[in-house]
Amino acid sequence: MGENARNTREAARDRILAAALQALAESGYAATSTLEIATRAQVSKRELYALFGNKRPCWLHASWIGQSASGCRPTYLQSRIARRSRGPSE
């Protein structure tokens, strides 16, 4: 893989992770689709799947980045995202 292709792939990966973190924090895991993440990241669903396989690995990477940036323990951020995905009535 050439340097430009590697940079393009890394840039797409970074955009996907940022979009996933934002969408998952806003809407929760269950309410966030791969299409929403791809749309926010300005990539195709095919590219998202090529880089991450599905939503779960994308969520795990994004939550790890969010934890690193905020200094939160992993269980804290994951519980907040899980709580949001259940909705306010639960």
* CA dist., res. 77 & res. 72, Å (int): 7
CATH number of 3-86: 1.10.10.60
pLDDT at 33: 93
Query: What are the φ and ψ backbone dihedral angles of 88, each rounded to 5 degrees?
Result: -70, -20
pLDDT tens digits, 6-57: 778 888 988 998 898 889 888 888 899 999 999 999 999 999 999 988 888 8
Domain ranges of the chain: 3-86
User: Counting beta carbons within 10 angstroms of the beta carbon of residue 6, is it exposed (0 to 12), middle (13 to 18) or buried (19 or more)?
Assistant: exposed
Cβ within 8 Å of residue 7, ≥6 positions away: none
